[in-house]
Structures are given as C-alpha cells and as structure tokens.
Chains A and B, each alone.
Chain A
Amino acid sequence: MTDHSDAPHANSASLDSTGAADPEADGKPATASQRQLVWWSFKKHRLALVSAWLLIGLLVVVAFTEFLAPYDVRHRDSEYTTAPPQVLKIVDTDGGDGWRWGLHVDGYTSEQDERSLRITYETNPDDRVEVGFFVKGEEYELFGFIPWDRHLIGPKDPEDPMYLLGTTTDGKDLLTDLVYATRVSTSVGIIGVALAFLMGIVLGAISGYFGGWIDNGIQRLIELVMAVPAIPLWLGLAAALPTDMGPVMRYFIITTILAVVAWTGLAREVRGRFLAMRSEEFVTSARLDGSGHGRVMFRHMLPSFSSHIIAALSLSIPTMILAETALSWLGLGLRPPAVSWGVQLQEASKWSVLSGAPWLLIPGLAVVIAVLAFNFVGDGLRDAADPYKH
C-alpha cells in the first residue's frame, strides 16, 4: 500500500517539472530565439505595445480601405459642402413619443446668409438618418479583385447624408478621404523607407566591410547628398515633374524622391557597425570557412544587428510620412484627385475656411498619431534589440 501512496507524489512532481518553469524537463535545454528575447523585452515597454496595436490598426485600414470608408473616394455631395461632423447616436429622445432605439445620426438643416450668400449647415435633431453596419453602398473591389458593395458603416438609405467627420469645401466626406489618405500616406512612408533601406544597407555594408577607397568613395557620396538641403532638393525634384502625370506614377516618383534623400543616415549607421565588426574573429573565421564576401556580409554580419535595423526602420518611417505630408501640403507632392494627409491638410491652410470648418484639421491629428506610434514602436524595438545588454 505504501507503494501506491508514493506513486501519485512522484507523478505530481514530474508534472510540475514538465511545466514551463523548468526548461530542462524534457532532457533538452530550453532555447529562446533572438526573436523571442526581443519580444519579451519589447512587451515591457507599455507605450510601445499600445503603439504597436495602433500600427496594426493602421495596417488594417490600409488593407481594407474600400470597406472601411463609408463612400467611394470619388463620392461628392454638392448639396452638403462644408457640413459639420455628425454624432453617432443610439437612442432618440427628442421625438416626443418616448425613446426610439436604433443607430442614427442627425440630419442637416441649411441656412443661407443673406449678405454673403454663403450656406451654412447645422445638424438638426428632428431629422433622423438611419445608420447601419454592413450597409449596401457604392460598389468597389476589395484588394483590387473581390467585387463587393458593403461598407462597414453607412446610411441605410443611400440618399441620406451621413458625414461623421463632416465634409470638405467641395462636399467630399472627410472620413472617406481620411481612410483613403491613410492608405496613401502610410504606404508612401513604408515603401519609401524600404527603398531607402535597400540603398542604405547595401551601400553602408559595402562601405564598412571593404573599407579603403571604396569606403572613401561612398562616404564622400553620402556627404554630398547630405550637404544638399533636403527641402529645396525635394521642391526642385518635385517641381520638375510634369503636371499631367498620372496620380499613380506621381505617387511612385514622389516616394522615390523621398527615399533618395533619406538613405544616407542609415547607410552611415550600417557602415559604422560593419566597420566595428569586420575585425571580429568570427568574421575572419567565416571567410576562412569559405564564404564569399556577400555571404559574410549578409548572412554572418547583418543578422547580428537586424533588430537594430528594424528599430531604425520604424524610427525613419515618421520622417518619411512627415516629408510626404509637407511636400503635398505645399502642393508639390501628391495632388487631388489623389488624397493623402498632406493633400487633405492643404484645404485647412486657409484661415477663412478653417474658421468655419475646424474639422478639416482632423487629418493633422491622424498624422500626429501615426508619427508618434511609429516613434514609440521604434523606441521600444531599439531598447529591446539587445536582449543581452542588461
């Protein structure tokens, strides 16, 4: 009997030891990959974690733009120009006949100023616009190939006005524009940075690894590019673009222009790391193992600071977004009918417009949030990049 009573004890002990707490339990030692260590360290950075969720949201917006926007980007309602934002309501208490449940917004009443003939809109609690989720609206193609006509949110009767963030001076829904602009501005940032990084990493790696006259040549080139002030260079290049260029072409050229200016900083950073690392013995031994220069550079050396590069990457996306916004705001980047945050803010640059329609500044808020989120995530990654540092 004593044997039996011992057995469960032994069992529970072995159960305990197979738990996550004891890494040696299955005979093989636990191994945490670099990625796991970075993730564990990143998780401790609260602000970065929240920002990471924001960025994921941003990417969702980029992917599902047509579905999330209530209208098509070409939708224009000349009946309601510069209409104020509506508040989404669940219950209607103003009807007099008790509470009426149901998602709705207030409609608009218009009033024309007798002297200036300017029409101003106000929301009218007596006018009820039924709003629903997954409503039928304008047709679009999701991801460019799935035809669909549902929108996340919209008026149940397509003829009714629903402008949650108000409308622009020419009667476009600000929310729709903002969703489309998010796609454009974010992708300009990401694609631009990717291009810049490709150039920066390759040239920086070659420069630092080989040294000598190659290094000298590349460093002088970088100094040359850096010596040219960025804003006039952008302006010059952007102004040289023909005005009749299509919006897609213009988008890619603007992105390339931004990348050409932005690669130098990264190239220097990468070069410094390669320079410091190339005399390490593990680099020599990689060469002696029979690896070619390319393999040594990009298989043996680059992975050693890939997390630093990812951090630098997310830290330079905001610069790129801001550059695009500035360029478009000045009228030299993207132009209507293309929408980006900069294009949207262009409208808010006139005081006469802004005083009557402060909601036109909302895209600015989007810029601030996106820039901060990328910066916080970048900071978090930079701190997490070296798990053995502490």
Chain B
Amino acid sequence: MNDTQASEPMLEINDLHVRFPVRRNMFGRIAVENHAVSGVDLSLMPGETLALVGESGCGKTTLGRTIVGAQKATSGSVVYGGRDLTKLKNREKGPYRRQIRMVFQDPFSSLNPRMTLRQVIGDPLVATGEASGTELEDRIAEMMRRVGLSPDYMDRYPHAFSGGQRQRVNIARALIVEPKLVVADEPVSALDVSVRAQILNLMRRLQEEYGLTYLFISHDLSVVENIADRVAVMYFGKIVEVADTADLYDKPAHPYTEALMSAAPIPNPAQRGRKGRILLPDELPDPTDPPPGCSFASRCGYAEAGRCDRDPVDLVDGVRCVRKNELDLQGIVKADV
C-alpha cells in the first residue's frame, strides 16, 4: 500500500491544539488548562494504515476523537475533502460523520447494554433515516456476515457476547455506512492475545474490501508492526517521529522512540538481556505548563542541558529532535532465531 503515498493526502492535520479546562477563576474564565494535543501536524494517505503510538496520556485518543468530531479542537485545522472539519457547523457534519468513523477501545462500554445488535449496528442508518424495513435488515445481516457474526444473533443483547465478538459489532457499526477513514482507538488492547490476531486480520481484510484508510491508535508495538504502513510516535501532545514502519522499527531517529522500542517485550528468551532496557525517569512535564524546549528533555538520556530544554524544536524530516543527526539509536530486537 506504500505506492499510494505518492497521491494527495486524504486527511491533513495542521498545527492542531486541544486543551481542556482544568480550573476556572471566579469569573468563569479558564485559569488552568491541560494541553492534551499541542501542535500536531500529520497527514494520512488514502488506503494506508497509519499507527499512532505513545504512552498513556500522550494525547493520542484525544487526537483521534478530534478527527471524528467527538472532541472540539482549540485551534488548528483538520482538513478532509477540502473542508476544515473543526469549523463545521453541526448540521454540516452529517456527510463527514459517515466518511470518518471510529472504533472504540472498550468493547464493553461502547455498546449500549439495552440495545440489540440489530439496533446497535443499524443505528447509523436509522438515525439518518437512510434505510428501513427489509433493506435495513438486509444491510445489517450482510454487515454482520462480513465481520464474521451470524445474522441469527441480530436480536441478542451485547451482554451475551465476548470481547472479541463485541469488537466485531463495533466494527460492523462503524463500517455499515461505508466510510473512507476509520479511526480505531486501541481496538484490540482490551482483548485476549488469542483474539487480537483475529480482529487484526478482520480489519486488514475489510480494509482491502472497502478500500479503507486506518488511523490505528495503539500503545502495543507488536500489534502496530503487524498492521501499520507508517507509524507516528506521539509524546506529550506532539508528534515526535513519523516514519515507515520498517524504518522506524529498524532505526528509530528520536530518543523517545528508542525508549519505546526497548520497552517492547522480546518474545525469544535467548535474546533477552542482549540489549539494555532504557528506563525513563518519571519526570513528565506539567501538562498545564509545558516547557519551552523539547518536552522529552527532562527524561531523555541524550539531552544536553542548555540546548534541548530551551529552544522550541520542530518536526523536521519526520523527527522532532535537535540532536537527530548526532545520535545513533537502536531499533527493536528482531526475532531472528
């Protein structure tokens, strides 16, 4: 799918900021706010799978929710089909909600316990009045078959299903309106390892059938390596590195990426201990008061005092690090036995 990258991006995120009010002063003005996403630039090519990785709280879910319109952007733009999605009025959102869909992380809280699969999966069609009667029923049944669920289960409630099956329901609900882009927020992280591969394979198959573009949010590097064409590493509300999956895993260019790679479990016991794990100190900067320089400087083993922590650093050639040309970083240990 890398060949599609030559064409125009289907989604472009420019200098996107999302801030949450933490405390208001006595006049109702925002006194303290949390910078969840602070200046993200990212573009998605049609047909690709871009993985967004990073530790908990780095803003990757917020970024995903902003793209689908579940979260208001503070500033910046998300351009899709020539329109800035962040500036859409409510009544203009309809067609974009169909083209950009979301698969949620938690297969339990994302399904209404009082709605049957028929109601859940068919909801996008019913809510917009697009289909009803037998047409609705046929489309739901067809969608269920495509995600590997028997249409016989249509009138059952979600509590009767396992996590993997529920996630299939979530995927069916997202795809029934035939979207172009799917934001999948950690779709397999709540599932058993044995079920993960099934869901990932399903997603890959559906991508081919529907010509989907995925933004795949995850913290699990082994899952990402499997499914993604490109990987964007997010840290503290910013993208610190974007690269093709193979390149990134082979040779990370940002110290944070290297630290992430070193934390990935090594499946082969014989290779464990061959490479030292990079243990990051817990000194996360205060998200309500971000530092002026590199936000990773306080935890970075390669940081130079007076240089890294002072000057703002931009994403140049896919890497946000002032020392990127000076460092020789180690990628993930390949299971080559």
Contacts and interface: CB of A to CB of B under 8 A. Distances in A.
Interface stretch (B9-17, B81-89, B96-104, B236-244): B96-104
A292 B126 CA distance: 12
Nearest to A29: B156
B123 to A, nearest CB: 5
Q: Among A282, A291, A303, which residue has the most Cβ atoms of chain B within 10 A? A: A282
B109 A280 contact: yes
A28 interface: yes
A282 B112 contact: yes
Contact of B114 (A28, A34, A287, A290): A34
Contact of A304 (B68, B105, B113, B173): B113
A281 B155 CA distance: 21
Interface string B105-117: 1100111111110
A287 B123 contact: no
Nearest to B153: A29
Interface in A278-311: 280-282, 284-292, 295, 300, 303-304
Nearest to A303: B114
A232 B97 CA distance: 53
B98 A281 contact: no
B124 interface: yes
Interface in A147-180: none
Contact of B104 (A29, A285, A292): A285
A281 B64 CA distance: 14
Contact of A281 (B68, B106, B127, B152): B106
Contacts of A304: 112-114
B94 A290 contact: yes
Nearest to A37: B157
A352 interface: no
A28 B152 contact: yes
Contacts of A291: 123, 127
A145 interface: no
Contacts of B111: 282
A284 B70 CA distance: 7
Interface string B268-295: 0000000000000000000000000000
B54 interface: no
Contacts of B128: 290
By size class, the interface of chain B is 20 to 34
Given A289-B123, A289-B127, A27 B109 contact: no
A284 B109 CA distance: 10
B217 to A, nearest CB: 14
B34 to A, nearest CB: 16
Nearest to B105: A281
Contacts of B110: 281-282, 285
Interface string B37-75: 000000000000000000000000000010011100000
Interface string A16-41: 00000000000111010010000000
Nearest to A304: B114
Contacts of A288: 68-70, 97, 101-102
Given A31-B157, A34-B157, A284-B65, 14 more contacts: A29-B153, A31-B116, A280-B109, A282-B109, A285-B104, A285-B110, A286-B112, A287-B70, A288-B69, A288-B102, A290-B124, A291-B123, A303-B114, A303-B115
Interface of B: 65, 68-70, 94, 97-98, 101-102, 104-106, 109-116, 123-124, 127-128, 152-153, 155-157, 159-160, 170, 173
18 contacts: A29-B156, A31-B116, A31-B156, A31-B157, A34-B114, A280-B109, A281-B105, A281-B106, A282-B110, A288-B70, A288-B97, A290-B94, A291-B123, A295-B127, A300-B115, A303-B114, A304-B113, A388-B113
Interface of A: 27-29, 31, 34, 280-282, 284-292, 295, 300, 303-304, 388
- Across the A-B interface, the 3 shortest Cβ-Cβ residue pairs: A281-B110, A289-B124, A291-B127
